[in-house]
Amino acid sequence: MRRHRQRLESACVFCGSSDEADPEFLSAARGVGKALADAGIKLVYGGGGVGLMGATARAAHEAGGDVLGIIPTFLVGAERALETVEHIIVDNMHERKMLMFQRSDSFIILPGGIGTLEEVVELLSWRRLDLHAKPVIFYNPRGFWEPLFKLFQHTVDERLTPPEFMQAWVAVPTVDEIVPALLAQGAEPYPSEAAVGRRG
């Protein structure tokens, strides 16, 4: 049984940590951070000051938004933890991802590399297992995520994934559409969410 929708208060952003990212992606990340702050939505992110994640957090903070970074000890130096915002230092990647999930009631996926892919697949796997119903929005500039979506569809075509899985997210091509897409879905706490922690 699903509970009544509530006001969406926080969004976790998964994205790349490379400073070599396309300037267009870095600019978009700044736009996302500002948009979240303007909407009064708290940003939860990986805690670093580099790449798209650093750009998102700085923009949100500079626009007066609430920001929470969560970073494992071994990445504090490598990802240059952003100490100007609230942050939590954890022991490992598993704890980081679990805490990011628990502190967020929605997710935004920006362009990223293998680390972002790992986060996305786990998040959607939990969604597939009916462990949560939190909104998931992909920012999909120039069709960035289309190869991943095609792979998902391939697993559906091969009858390895149910067709309804393809409705587990919303993809938008522009930054301006991200926050409206989140707000259109709202936060939806899910009774079985505690089961995620037992599986993590």
In this structure, is residue 198 part of a structural domain? Answer: no
pLDDT of 181 reads: 95
Q: Which domain holds residue 73?
A: 10-189
Q: DSSP of 130-194, one letter per residue?
A: TS----EEEE-GGGTTHHHHHHHHHHHHTTSS-GGGGGS-EEESSGGGHHHHHHHH-B---GGGH
The count of domains in the chain is: 1
Q: Could you tell me if residue 96 is inside a domain? A: yes
Provide the CB-side half-sphere exposure for 128 (13 A, CA): 15
In-domain check, residue 114 = yes
Residue 173 located in a structural domain: yes
For residue 196, being part of any structural domain is answered with no
Residues 6+ apart with CB under 8 A from 119: 14, 97
> Residue written as tokens 């929470």?
68
Q: Residue 140 has what pLDDT?
A: 98
User: Which regions of the chain are under pLDDT 70?
Assistant: 1-6, 186-200
The confidence score (pLDDT) of residue 81 equals 78
Of 52, 198, 195, the C-alpha closest to 133 is: 195
**Is the pTM value of this prediction over 0.85?**
yes
The CATH number of the domain holding residue 42 is 3.40.50.450
Q: Is residue 172 part of a domain?
A: yes
